[in-house]
Structure 1
Amino acid sequence: MDLESSPRLCIEDVRITGHAQPITLRSYRPASDGTILPIVLYFHGGGFVGGGLDDADIAAATIARDTPAWVVSVGYSLAPAFPFPTAPEDGYRAAQWAVAHARAQRADPLRIGIAGHDAGGNLATCVAAIARDRGDIRMSAQALLAPLLDPSMTRLADERKVLCPDFEACECAQWYRAYLPNPSQRLHPYAAPLESRRLHGLPSALIASAEHDLLHIEAEKYAGELIAAGVSTEVTRHGNASHQALAAHPDALADVVTFFRKRLGRAKQAQEK
């Protein structure tokens, strides 16, 4: 373990057994003041093929410090070397690890949130669906920042009307081909949440979209689908923000913190001896 410290956070890297290879988790824990913390799993962006724990640092540290919460940032396996379902299964193993170690971290395994940006937003909502279906982990809230949700790419915004997008549609198509090499996987509910007809029972959601993002339409469409399925859902669009910038956007992260504070409850004073 590699331990760092900041005035308010203890940060350490932990290696665990993933679905196909060992993966690294980065733990962000506020200095103990006798409270029991909720748990938040966080997934970085990178289009399923790139990115890493350092890309998640601003979001993970902000959520940990300001909620406050024990945040576990997941260094999931990347495509094309490790295509679907490796990444979501890595995420589920990370959730199991967090639950198993909650007591040692003075955290509450019954108050779990999950969040992510870009591909991490896809993984966050898909891992929440896996947890719902397998029934051994209860998640109470999900926060998705500019998520990738639609491998069919039939709901992209008009590139001519999006000011200076971070990427082109052809790049997004390459990410999905690397992550989902079998075309039939592009309708799987754990890979294509916007195509899923099984959204009932997912945790309450906050979905943040960016004005200058080709994907803002599918993010907002997913919010509507969740609401139709009976899932309590909030959706915000951040003006003058781009897809990549949303991962560290101060207003978006403030909304995530407010959402988790509300949905996961304020930390309670520990009573155990």
Structure 2
Amino acid sequence: MSSALSRVPLSVQGAALHAVFALPQPARRLLAGPPIRRDGLELALDAQLLLRMAALTDQSLTSTTAEGARARMEAGRTLLGGPIVGGVDTRNLNLPVTDGTIPARLYEPDDLPAGSPLLVYYHGGGWVIGGLDTHDGVCRYLATHANVRVLSVGYRLAPEYPFPAAADDAYAAFRYAAANAESLGADPSAIAVGGDSAGGNLTAVVCLDAVRRGGPRPVFQLLFYPATDPSVRRRSRDLFGDGFFLTDDDMTWFIDHYCPDVSARTDPRIAVLLADDLRGLPPAYIATAGFDPLRDEGNAFADRLREAGVPVVKRQHDDLIHGFVSFLSLGSRFREAVSEAAGALRTGLALRSRANVVDLFRPTA
């Protein structure tokens, strides 16, 4: 079946996928099969249906080469498709980093006034795949639903640029945003950082770097199913390491490319969960997925932040899988999860934004 489908144009496969998700609930349940339950949790129908459809294709996260894996992710973006979120202007930028520049894209919702909050966003993809285009959808969604500008960062990828290149680029991008907030239309006192998976890892690392190095700090961190410690194999990796989108083999492949030196994998700029001191990090919203091999380390990081006195919301979506921010164009369950995070981001930033203070206390007519 997969070899036959591989000969069908991706646009046709994508249209068929969206047609399946538009079917009535009983039909979708019939296609997905009986509910899947594990570890006391039940997988959402939207997630189960996506996994069933993915099993019919040749799509996967990794390949024999980094180039092949990147091509697979681009193909997946075509498959997911969906309408582009409107009401957002974009402009491409180049951000200075050590030995050159990296690409970035600024998302600006229509009618958003100057001096509004800004989210610096780091895409997922195991530090090896992904980029500005693969995460265009979630950046647009967060911009419109959180009412913020979003600066999406195209950090350098492994294995061409192994650790700590991505971490260095992520921190440089935040520093650029803080130093150039006005030219970005943003409030320098209301800059957040966020990301998914490997991007969630970079988000936490940027916050830790900002505290350690002094100078500007993010005021909020938004983490979707972050990688926080590749040095320890936790229970969720054994429970969900096969058949739930991100696999055990994928995780090994990614970290081997990003940090081939095994002894360096306890460095807090990778294993941020192992940092000696997390005090002073910004408030956090951490969303994990119940059927995700990264679940336990993301939850453990939330617990450590709380123990360090950092305000944190730990939100485990019991019925979801890794990667749900990339599935916004499909089932409503994915959108519900990202909408909740957008609300948390909007609230956290509104409390810090000078523009919001003016709006709140402007005399009413």
Cα deviation for residue 216 of structure 1 reads 0.7
Matched, 1:71 2:71: no
Question: Counterpart in 1 of 2:281?
Answer: 202
Looking at structure 1, the residues matched to 92 and 150 of structure 2 have their Cα atoms a distance apart, in angstroms, of: 12
Q: Contact 2:237–2:294 at 8 Å: present in 1 too?
A: no
User: Is 84-93 or 99-108 further displaced after alignment?
Assistant: 99-108
Looking at structure 1, the residues matched to 264 and 237 of structure 2 have their Cα atoms a distance apart, in angstroms, of: 26
Larger helix percent: 2
Cα deviation for residue 172 of structure 1 reads 0.6
User: Is 118-127 or 92-101 further displaced after alignment?
Assistant: 92-101
Question: Counterpart in 1 of 2:340?
Answer: 255
Larger strand percent: 1
Cα deviation for residue 158 of structure 1 reads 5.1
Aligned alpha-carbon RMSD (Å): 2.1
Q: Contact 1:164–1:212 at 8 Å: present in 2 too?
A: no
User: Is 187-196 or 239-248 further displaced after alignment?
Assistant: 239-248
Question: Counterpart in 2 of 1:19?
Answer: 98
Looking at structure 1, the residues matched to 239 and 289 of structure 2 have their Cα atoms a distance apart, in angstroms, of: 16
Alpha carbons of structure 1 residues 224 and 6: separation in structure 2 relative to 1, 3 Å = closer
* Number of aligned residues: 266
Matched, 1:123 2:123: no
Looking at structure 2, the residues matched to 152 and 76 of structure 1 have their Cα atoms a distance apart, in angstroms, of: 23
Question: Counterpart in 1 of 2:48?
Answer: none
Give the alignment partner of residue 232 of structure 2, picking from 135, 139, 153: 153
Q: Secondary structure at the match of 2:129?
A: coil
Return the index of the structure with the highest Cα Rg: 2
Question: Counterpart in 2 of 1:189?
Answer: 268
User: Is 88-97 or 237-246 further displaced after alignment?
Assistant: 237-246
**Counterpart amino acid of residue 245 in structure 2:** D
Question: Counterpart in 2 of 1:234?
Answer: 313
Cα deviation for residue 160 of structure 1 reads 4.5
Alpha carbons of structure 1 residues 34 and 219: separation in structure 2 relative to 1, 3 Å = closer
Looking at structure 2, the residues matched to 33 and 117 of structure 1 have their Cα atoms a distance apart, in angstroms, of: 25
Looking at structure 2, the residues matched to 211 and 86 of structure 1 have their Cα atoms a distance apart, in angstroms, of: 30
What is the percentage of aligned positions where both structures have the same residue?
32
Alpha carbons of structure 1 residues 46 and 250: separation in structure 2 relative to 1, 3 Å = same
Looking at structure 2, the residues matched to 163 and 183 of structure 1 have their Cα atoms a distance apart, in angstroms, of: 23
Deviation readout 1:49-72 (Å, 9 max, x if unpaired): 111112221221112112211110
Question: Counterpart in 1 of 2:123?
Answer: 44
Question: Counterpart in 1 of 2:63?
Answer: none
Matched, 1:98 2:177: yes
Question: Counterpart in 1 of 2:162?
Answer: 83
Looking at structure 2, the residues matched to 216 and 7 of structure 1 have their Cα atoms a distance apart, in angstroms, of: 32
Q: Contact 1:146–1:246 at 8 Å: present in 2 too?
A: no
**Counterpart amino acid of residue 250 in structure 1:** R
Runs (4 or more) in structure 1 with deviation over 4 Å come to 160-163
Cα deviation for residue 164 of structure 1 reads 2.7
Alpha carbons of structure 1 residues 161 and 21: separation in structure 2 relative to 1, 3 Å = same
Cα deviation for residue 105 of structure 1 reads 3.0
Deviation readout 1:172-208 (Å, 9 max, x if unpaired): 1221121112223211111111111221111111111
**Counterpart amino acid of residue 252 in structure 1:** A
Deviation readout 1:225-266 (Å, 9 max, x if unpaired): 111111111111113311022444312221222112221116
Question: TM-score scaled to structure 2, two decimals?
Answer: 0.68
User: Is 47-56 or 168-177 further displaced after alignment?
Assistant: 168-177
Matched, 1:108 2:193: no
Question: Counterpart in 2 of 1:218?
Answer: 297
Question: TM-score scaled to structure 1, two decimals?
Answer: 0.90
User: Is 188-197 or 147-156 further displaced after alignment?
Assistant: 147-156
Looking at structure 2, the residues matched to 138 and 161 of structure 1 have their Cα atoms a distance apart, in angstroms, of: 35
Matched, 1:264 2:349: yes
Give the alignment partner of residue 165 of structure 1, picking from 239, 244, 249: 244
Looking at structure 2, the residues matched to 262 and 164 of structure 1 have their Cα atoms a distance apart, in angstroms, of: 35
Cα deviation for residue 121 of structure 1 reads 0.4
Alpha carbons of structure 1 residues 244 and 150: separation in structure 2 relative to 1, 3 Å = same
Q: Secondary structure at the match of 2:290?
A: strand
Looking at structure 2, the residues matched to 146 and 6 of structure 1 have their Cα atoms a distance apart, in angstroms, of: 23
Q: Contact 1:150–1:192 at 8 Å: present in 2 too?
A: yes
Looking at structure 2, the residues matched to 6 and 148 of structure 1 have their Cα atoms a distance apart, in angstroms, of: 28
Question: Counterpart in 1 of 2:5?
Answer: none
Alpha carbons of structure 1 residues 160 and 227: separation in structure 2 relative to 1, 3 Å = closer
Deviation readout 1:109-164 (Å, 9 max, x if unpaired): 11111111010000011011111122221211111111111111322415346783
